[in-house]
Structure 1
Amino acid sequence: MQGDTVVRWLLVFGGLVGVFVGAVSVAAQTPFRAAETAAQTQLTEESPIIDSIEFTGLRHISAAAVARQVSLHPGDRFDTAKLRQDLHALGRLGWFLSIRVEEQSRPELTSGVSAQRQRIALIFQLEEEPILSGVEYSGSRLLTRSQIERLLEEKKLPPGLGEPADPARLQRMAMAIQSALDVLGHPEASVQVHRQLQKNATVRIRFAINDGPHLPVRQLRFEGAPGVPEKLLRAQMQSIAPWKPLASFRSKDAYTREAFEEDRQRILTYYVDHGYPEARIGDAQIEKIAVCSRRWLPFPHHATRPGLRLSVPVQAGPFYRLESIEASQTLQQAVENQTGKPIALPVSQGRPFSQQEVDKLRRFCSLRLRSHHSQSDSTPFPSVNANPVFDPEKHSVRLKLNLSDSPPYLVHRLEFQGLHKFNDRFVRRRIPIREGDPFDDHALETGLTKLARIGYFKPIHKGDIHIELDDTRHTADVTIHLEEIGQQRITFDGGRAQFGSTLGLAYTVFDLFNGEELLPAKLEGGPETLQLLLGIAKDGIFGTRGSLAFSIFDNVIRPRFTHGVQGPFVNTHSVGINVPWTYALTDSDSVGVNYALSRTTSDQTFGSSSSTTGTNSVPPIDLRTHTSSRSLGTSWTRDTGNEHVSLAASASGSFLGGDENTLRSSGEYARVRRDPLFSSSNAWAFRATFSGVGSYRGNAPLYSRSFAGDQFVRGLRDGELGPVAMTDHAAPSGTIVPSPSYAGANLITAANAEYRVPLRNSVQATGFFDLGSGWLLPNWLGPTKPTLLSATNGILHGSTGVQLQWTIPGVQVPFRSYYALNVLRLDRVIPLSSRSLLHPHNRLGAFGWGLGSLF
């Protein structure tokens, strides 16, 4: 509240004889300073009884609204402490300019007793703040009115037109505007609040904004004894990084206290994880400088640019190495009893001490104890302590692992702050800890990662998580601050489809009808494919852990085999609906059921794709087929972050109806494992996959085959993983001649191995080895079968090479570029007749690219 309004009030301690009446004013939000003796006064039988409570001076605010804010009521005994709390509560509302309390005695004769019993009336004399009638923003060239209003809305600081002009809220609004200017590189900006009182007890507020000079961070240096190259420390700074590309457009050249604190925590974490547990980083010293630079436009000249220089004091401290890792006998016995195997600790002697590795080792031991722990056992699983013992003389660390003597902390309260558009239930379903459960920091971290991955919340940092431990009750109160991005989201998507790479745009709206539903719309396409999808999805259907979705799709596929084979060419157009239902068995396992109804139109062209001038030219032959399909499928998926397993099967036709009678199945296993030998930032990645489709009645449609290429084995083109078939082709002269064409495959198996090395700026280098094979099994096709070249069916393809992958900023879609050497490939000469030979072959080496990760 503006000014220091002093609220004073008189406490009356009357006996049976005298009553003292007084009135004083009290300052809102100012701690009440009562005499020590009054603060220690307890309710006794002689305390006066409150006969009535009155509120005077109110003009716009109702007395009932004020009465709901106080805890004293008529009929209660007078309590000094409660009155003090009520005065604080009224002051915090920001409704009143001043508050006065008057106490009046109302003696009443008690029947049968000659003495009087004291009764009092409390009269609150209130002076309201004027009603806010308008807000103006003036003086800023950087922030428009709409930008400021959007900023205040995001900060949950609306002006509150038609409400009392709360000075505290107005001051917070001014600070929010000033902070926004700080982020834009104007640390000397100022915002003043001017009040213009009107005659009708209203007030207009004008925020006078002074942008101040533009002072971006021009230089940054580390002083003291960093112990490591400055280049490594700069790499940890993500919030203040003026050397990064487009730093000014990304607000990375602006100094704010919050941004520096985030970077300081990142640097400290780096030190602790690289052998410097005693590192210290001081506050940044800020100095205004002028940097001289040469400009070329509109003519060559020298220009002086003002800015800031940050000097960060750093003391790395001594370098510590890990000497030994010891597990107590109790821990070893507990792990062996639970798993049946002795605990295997990594050999890390001589490596730099890393707090991150210590936490991973503690979690590893906890998971070993937890993995076989009975779910029906109500006793909480034991926790593991990891205690590093530092030797300051040898600069070594001995790590001791043992079972905790005390029981694990139980989650007493789990609270999510900052939720406005999303409800608490939506967040809790994605965090695998509950009140009453043992506190598991790994489960909390996993849940928050999944929550941030959905894209409706800003990244969650350690500073957003507050954990308060109660050692007496052995409980933990967890408070997590979330910052919502919004219910609407526009994202770019892309990846590797069956025919080439695709890039798409997805628009999603969440909770439009207040039912936690998701409404997605997606348009994705490439040179040979186009997909349009509209849908609706709902998590927690019927109060369960299941999710139900409904989507309408329209797909167009137009493959272009322009690299050596002739006809037939197929254009496929599919429209239909898809209804998947998914149920989460555990935090990592889920099962699903899917029903699809579609209608597919296929145009197959035989012969020349373009007419040839001449009397004997024969136009191409077009064959159009229409197929309706009704399929029902099931799936099971496990995704733990580092491991992915999926199995799926579906059937169409028979009692489901439709023209298509096929069976489909697929499976995939992928795993990413950190490199334990060279660097923990590198990783090994493996994938094995299979897919198959066949007809159990009638002909299998052509579009059910897979014309696979480098989505399984890099270096192959579309269709080269499958066999080659001979197809009759109409020559321009009118004669029918056989022509080789890719036949597709109905059974595919593949395996991939990668070694991934992360580089800078979202770039990753990969060495890979791929194996794959495709079969077209005639018995799975139905009565109509192509004329296959059996020598090309089931060929084992293999390639090895290097790949660079860059995640495109903003779009967040990986772009891959690779060179593959096909060490196992198709390269055979096949006699077609006594006079003709066919030489189908794949390239020995090939450059390729694609959007999206391979796996």
Structure 2
Amino acid sequence: MKHFEVDRPTRQQLFSFLTSIKAALCAVFLVFAVVAGTGQAEAQSYRFSSVTIEGNQRIEPSTILSYAGIARNETVSAGELNDAYQRILASGLFERAELVPQGNRLVIRVTEYPTINRIAFEGNKKLKDEDLEEFIKSRVRQVYSPTQAERDAATLAEAYAQNGRVSARITPRVIRRSDNRVDLIFEVFEGGKVEVQRIGFVGNRAYSDRRLRRVIESKQTGLLRALIERDTFVEDRLLFDKQVLTDFYNSRGYVDFRVTGTNAELARERDAYFVTFNVQEGQQFRFGEISTVSEMNGVEAEPYHDALKVRPGVVYSPTLVESSIARMERLAIKNGVDFLRVDPRITRNDRDLTLDVEFVLTRGPRIFVERIDIEGNTTTLDRVIRRQFDVVEGDPFNPRAIRQAADRIRALRFFSDVNVNAREGSRPDQVVIETDVEETTTGNVSVGLSFSTNAGPGVALGFSERNFIGRGQSLNAQIAASADRINYNLGFLEPAFLGRDVAFGLDFALQQTNSDNSLFDTTIGTFRPSLTFPVSENGRLGIFYSAAYEDMSDYNGVSGILQSEVNQGDLWTSALGYQFSYDTRRTGLNPNAGVLLAFGQEVAGLGGDNEFIKSTGRLVGQTTVMNEDVTLRAILEGGAIEFKKGQNSRFLNRFNGQVIRGFEPNGIGPSENGELLGGDYFAALKLEADFPLGLPDEYGITGGAFYDVGSIWGIDKRNATGVVSSTGFNDRHVIGFSIFWSSPFGPLRMNFSNALKKEPGDIEQVFDLTVKTEF
């Protein structure tokens, strides 16, 4: 390896050379700095004596100058020139802009956004074009804005997400056309529905997951996913579910209940959600001491306390408190006491888990209803909405009565949205009730298929309108036909006859059967007007008139009784009747139990050919046990028909249906030569239970068991030509098992029966299948 050495003089020369280069670079840098500084100083300001605008086609030059904000012969800095450029772009009218100073002249070059020639959607199948157009703000013949198109795409994606398609993607595209026009195309990828695969609850002890899943609106994916939309995931629905869960627990005494959290976890494949509600139940409380005091001069507490129905020991419910207050306030109006308000003061007793309630009668503020404004009803008449209010202009204002009126308006099911609010009127002591509604469809056309082990396959065509021409009236018509039967029905109902809480109904029916599956042909026509009105909080009374035409013909049997009845030909029946019902299943003290009592009579003889009194009654009691997972039900029903002496009942008047399970319709009762005749009396007791089978909820399958006891008996034997049997009360006993399935074809029920006790000539039915659906 060679070594080179640099002697001292050479190092000195190198140092001098580097020093010279450094000095030269500094000099060059200084020159450039001076030159650059001079140029920057010159670019700091401009003065334009003229402005030229290029590229505009639709936009007037004055409009562009107004956005620029640059005046002639005024000094303009570079920053102000940049601000002018930003203002022109921010107008949203131009795709590109350029500001070019040329001496004392400023040239503004713009490229205008095109106008929208056409808006189209591609790839959408689940939502129609007209539905999607309602969500976007871009419009034909308006200036195209990429920003607005992107916002429209995001809005459309959100609309699909509300329909359970969170993976939907919307991409806006433009197709250039002549004359600076574009077609705006939204390319839609809808994706599949993201379903709720599983709904679970954490922290619940009193009620099972299965019971709570029946409460909420969201549903798990099941066999009905093609027909039911509630198994798709909608985030807003979870807020409603939280509220109904709270109401459910509160109505059962769990006053401390709250939903501590809701977790909706999307599966890795993004095709399903797993929803979990975290709940805190707390303890169940009951009513403790119930008292009423009056702080209003001249008003005694005792009459109002006597009006209460809630008693100590009953499971606490805010609904019961509200109904008690409403009952007291109605009593005050009846007694002519205005502005009475009931303030419930609740004392909590944690030791014995009771809530003492003291109802305090006080005088409320002297505020009157100035007027009731109604908006948004394009079809429904004002009076239909107004009659849901118990107050009119000039009445004392009661916030609770207004809330109840809002609930009644929602219960009409005429509107998709109802908002009722009170605001201050023309004076501080007056309020204006503002009612804003949004109409929804109220008509329905249905095509139904049915199958029964008794009648075989059938078809039904129907039309119904529950808000006929906006008057709140109901109109329905139906034709149902099977192999040996055809029914025509037409019904009309005016729920507020003469502006009062009286329902006026008109019903027409025509039924015809042939002898393919029976011993004779029948024709029955009925005309029935009726009036129904409340007689108590839970009781309703209906009175009606009935005119009926009945004909039996083409008999091909061997019964002397039936032959004599067919020989009578067609007969007319003119009758008056009433029907009373008492139902606590919705308004009783116990949300898990209820009683229905129905009793009615029909008196014929006001003209016509028949004179009789026909009485029917039905008593139903129902309750839930085992944390509401099991429903127990008992039904007791019976009937009797008594003809005037000298007259006989006919088959069409007698009781001949399926009064208990396990036997065919007209399968028990008196018979002659083996032909069943029906009877003048019937009685039945039915005990049944509905319960889960332990199968996954998504199968929609539950079970039931029943035990029926009943009989049909009693007949006039004067025209008999053969042996008549079973004329007396002979009870039949049936035990059975039911399977309920929410199938894709509709609610399906299968009964498997075994007659423990029967009579000779009875027609058993060991299996019964009933299914009906509409599409």
TM-score, length-normalised on structure 2? 0.63
Q: Deviations over 1:72-93 (max 9, x none)?
A: xxxxxxxxxxxxxxxxxxxxxx
The alignment status of 1:422 with 2:401, answered yes or no, reads no
Q: Deviations over 1:713-768 (max 9, x none)?
A: 3333333443223xxxxxxxxxxxxx3422322x2232435354454648463544
User: Take 2:457 and 2:332, find their aligned partners in 1: how far apart are those partners?
Assistant: 46
User: Take 1:804 and 1:678, find their aligned partners in 2: how far apart are those partners?
Assistant: 21
| Counterpart in the other structure of 1:262 | 240
Q: Pairwise mapping of residues 434-513 of structure 1 onto structure 2 (< 5 A)?
A: 436=395, 438=398, 439=400, 447=408, 451-452=412-413, 484-490=440-446, 492=448, 504-509=460-465
User: Take 2:423 and 2:745, find their aligned partners in 1: how far apart are those partners?
Assistant: 41
1:358 aligned to 317, 323, 328, which one? 317
State the shift of 1:479 in Å: 5.8
2:574 aligned to 631, 634, 637, which one? 631
The alignment status of 1:549 with 2:506, answered yes or no, reads yes
| Counterpart in the other structure of 1:573 | 523
| Counterpart in the other structure of 1:744 | 678
User: Take 1:329 and 1:515, find their aligned partners in 2: how far apart are those partners?
Assistant: 43
State the shift of 1:775 in Å: 1.4
The alignment status of 1:591 with 2:542, answered yes or no, reads yes
Residues 230 and 593 (structure 1), Cα distance of their counterparts in 2 relative to 1, 3 Å cut: closer
8 Å Cα contact 1:236/1:263 also seen in 2: no
Q: Deviations over 1:463-493 (max 9, x none)?
A: x6777799x9798968686662342342759
State the shift of 1:403 in Å: 0.7
Partner SS state of residue 578, structure 1:
strand
Q: Deviations over 1:231-280 (max 9, x none)?
A: 45972685554543344664455433313323333444556558482534
1:140 aligned to 92, 103, 123, which one? 123
The alignment status of 1:277 with 2:256, answered yes or no, reads yes
1:387 aligned to 307, 328, 346, which one? 346
User: Take 2:516 and 2:388, find their aligned partners in 1: how far apart are those partners?
Assistant: 41
8 Å Cα contact 1:276/1:319 also seen in 2: yes
Q: Over aligned residue pairs, what C-alpha RMSD do you find?
A: 5.7
One-letter identity of the residue aligned with 2:463: Y
| Counterpart in the other structure of 1:307 | 271
| Counterpart in the other structure of 2:727 | 793
| Counterpart in the other structure of 2:6 | none
8 Å Cα contact 2:224/2:743 also seen in 1: no
8 Å Cα contact 1:289/1:309 also seen in 2: no
User: Take 1:284 and 1:751, find their aligned partners in 2: how far apart are those partners?
Assistant: 50
Partner SS state of residue 404, structure 1:
strand
1:723 aligned to 658, 670, 679, which one? 670
State the shift of 1:330 in Å: 4.0
Residues 697 and 429 (structure 1), Cα distance of their counterparts in 2 relative to 1, 3 Å cut: farther
Partner SS state of residue 604, structure 1:
coil
Q: Deviations over 1:48-81 (max 9, x none)?
A: xxxxxxxxx9xxxxxxxxxxxxxxxxxxxxxxxx
User: Take 1:553 and 1:326, find their aligned partners in 2: how far apart are those partners?
Assistant: 58
Residues 416 and 765 (structure 1), Cα distance of their counterparts in 2 relative to 1, 3 Å cut: farther
8 Å Cα contact 2:174/2:183 also seen in 1: yes
Partner SS state of residue 265, structure 1:
helix
8 Å Cα contact 1:335/1:369 also seen in 2: no
User: Take 2:211 and 2:668, find their aligned partners in 1: how far apart are those partners?
Assistant: 47
User: Take 1:196 and 1:216, find their aligned partners in 2: how far apart are those partners?
Assistant: 33
Q: Deviations over 1:678-721 (max 9, x none)?
A: 7597454433332415366766544333323x3x2333333344
8 Å Cα contact 2:348/2:355 also seen in 1: yes
State the shift of 1:328 in Å: 2.6
| Counterpart in the other structure of 1:245 | 223
| Counterpart in the other structure of 2:16 | none
Q: Deviations over 1:284-303 (max 9, x none)?
A: 4655623xxxxxxxxxxxxx
| Counterpart in the other structure of 1:82 | none
The alignment status of 1:651 with 2:604, answered yes or no, reads yes
One-letter identity of the residue aligned with 1:635: Y
| Counterpart in the other structure of 1:403 | 359
Partner SS state of residue 582, structure 1:
strand
User: Take 2:431 and 2:409, find their aligned partners in 1: how far apart are those partners?
Assistant: 21
Residues 766 and 526 (structure 1), Cα distance of their counterparts in 2 relative to 1, 3 Å cut: farther
TM-score, length-normalised on structure 1? 0.58
Q: Deviations over 1:775-834 (max 9, x none)?
A: 1145xxxxx6325757621314243534536375687666352535445x43xxxxxxxx
User: Take 2:516 and 2:362, find their aligned partners in 1: how far apart are those partners?
Assistant: 65
Partner SS state of residue 277, structure 1:
coil
Which structure's relative contact order is higher, taking Cα pairs within 8 Å and 6+ residues apart? Answer: 2
| Counterpart in the other structure of 1:325 | 288
One-letter identity of the residue aligned with 1:279: R
Residues 343 and 212 (structure 1), Cα distance of their counterparts in 2 relative to 1, 3 Å cut: closer
One-letter identity of the residue aligned with 1:422: T
8 Å Cα contact 1:645/1:669 also seen in 2: yes
User: Take 2:312 and 2:670, find their aligned partners in 1: how far apart are those partners?
Assistant: 48
Residues 491 and 327 (structure 1), Cα distance of their counterparts in 2 relative to 1, 3 Å cut: farther
8 Å Cα contact 2:461/2:478 also seen in 1: yes
User: Take 1:772 and 1:403, find their aligned partners in 2: how far apart are those partners?
Assistant: 51
User: Take 1:224 and 1:797, find their aligned partners in 2: how far apart are those partners?
Assistant: 50
User: Take 2:661 and 2:610, find their aligned partners in 1: how far apart are those partners?
Assistant: 32
User: Take 1:421 and 1:167, find their aligned partners in 2: how far apart are those partners?
Assistant: 39
Partner SS state of residue 244, structure 1:
coil
| Counterpart in the other structure of 2:636 | 687
8 Å Cα contact 1:684/1:756 also seen in 2: yes
Unaligned runs of 5+ in 2: 1-59, 61-90, 94-112, 586-595
Partner SS state of residue 160, structure 2:
helix
Partner SS state of residue 237, structure 2:
helix
8 Å Cα contact 1:693/1:704 also seen in 2: no
Query: If you compute each CA radius of gyration, which structure gives the higher value, 1 or 2?
Result: 2
User: Take 1:230 and 1:434, find their aligned partners in 2: how far apart are those partners?
Assistant: 47
Unaligned runs of 5+ in 1: 1-56, 58-95, 99-129, 291-305, 349-353, 562-568, 609-619, 726-738, 779-783, 827-839
The alignment status of 1:714 with 2:661, answered yes or no, reads yes
User: Take 1:820 and 1:845, find their aligned partners in 2: how far apart are those partners?
Assistant: 8
User: Take 1:664 and 1:622, find their aligned partners in 2: how far apart are those partners?
Assistant: 19
User: Take 1:661 and 1:200, find their aligned partners in 2: how far apart are those partners?
Assistant: 86
Residues 211 and 224 (structure 1), Cα distance of their counterparts in 2 relative to 1, 3 Å cut: same
User: Take 1:419 and 1:317, find their aligned partners in 2: how far apart are those partners?
Assistant: 42
8 Å Cα contact 1:408/1:474 also seen in 2: no
| Counterpart in the other structure of 2:47 | none
Residues 312 and 386 (structure 1), Cα distance of their counterparts in 2 relative to 1, 3 Å cut: farther
One-letter identity of the residue aligned with 1:573: T
Residues 286 and 382 (structure 1), Cα distance of their counterparts in 2 relative to 1, 3 Å cut: same
Residues 744 and 751 (structure 1), Cα distance of their counterparts in 2 relative to 1, 3 Å cut: closer
Decide which structure has greater helix share: 2
Residues 602 and 232 (structure 1), Cα distance of their counterparts in 2 relative to 1, 3 Å cut: closer
8 Å Cα contact 2:740/2:750 also seen in 1: yes
One-letter identity of the residue aligned with 2:510: F
State the shift of 1:627 in Å: 1.0
Identity of matched residues, %: 11
